Chain A
Amino acid sequence: MKATVHVMLKTGVLDPQGEAVRHALGALGFEGVNGVRQGKVIELDLADGTTEADVNAMCEKLLANMVIESYRVDLS
Chain B
Amino acid sequence: MKAAVVVFPGSNCDRDLAVAFKAAGADVEMVWHKDTDLPTAVDIVGVPGGFSFGDYLRCGAIAANSPICQAVKAHATRGGYVLGICNGFQVLTETGILPGALLRNAGLKYICKTIGLKVATSQSVYTEGYNAGDVIDIPIAHHDGNYFADAATLDALHGEDRVAFTYTDNPNGSMDDIAGILSANRRVLGMMPHPERAADPGHGGTDGQALFRAVAAQLANA
Inter-chain contact B61/A13, CB cutoff 8 Å: no
Kindly state whether residue A33 has any CB partner on chain B within 8 Å: no
Kindly state whether residue A16 has any CB partner on chain B within 8 Å: yes
| Given A13-B148, A62-B57, also A68-B106 (CB < 8 A) | no
Kindly state whether residue B166 has any CB partner on chain A within 8 Å: no
Please indicate the chain B residues that have their CB under 8 angstroms from the CB of A27 in the complex: none
Query: Main SS of the interface on chain A?
Result: helix
Kindly state whether residue A73 has any CB partner on chain B within 8 Å: no
**In the complex, residue of chain B having the shortest beta-carbon distance to the beta carbon of A63:** B57
Inter-chain contact A68/B103, CB cutoff 8 Å: yes
Most chain B beta carbons < 10 A, residue from A20, A62, A65: A65
Query: Main SS of the interface on chain B?
Result: loop
Kindly state whether residue A14 has any CB partner on chain B within 8 Å: yes
Inter-chain contact B146/A14, CB cutoff 8 Å: yes
For residues 7 through 46 of chain A, which have their beta carbon under 8 Å from a beta carbon of chain B? 13-14, 16-17, 20
**How many residues belonging to B are interface residues under a CB distance threshold of 8 Å?**
20
Give the contacting residue for B104; candidates A16, A62, A65, A67; CB below 8 A.
Answer: A16
How many chain A residues sit at the interface, stated as a range, is 10 to 19
Inter-chain contact A67/B173, CB cutoff 8 Å: no
Once bound together, how far apart are the Cα atoms of A34 and B100, in whole Å?
28
Inter-chain contact B173/A16, CB cutoff 8 Å: yes
Inter-chain contact A17/B61, CB cutoff 8 Å: no
Give the contacting residue for A13; candidates B93, B103, B107; CB below 8 A.
Answer: B103
Q: Could you list some 19 contacts between A and B, CB below 8 A?
A: A13-B148, A14-B103, A14-B106, A14-B148, A14-B173, A16-B105, A16-B106, A17-B104, A20-B108, A61-B65, A62-B65, A63-B57, A65-B58, A65-B101, A67-B99, A67-B101, A67-B149, A68-B101, A68-B148
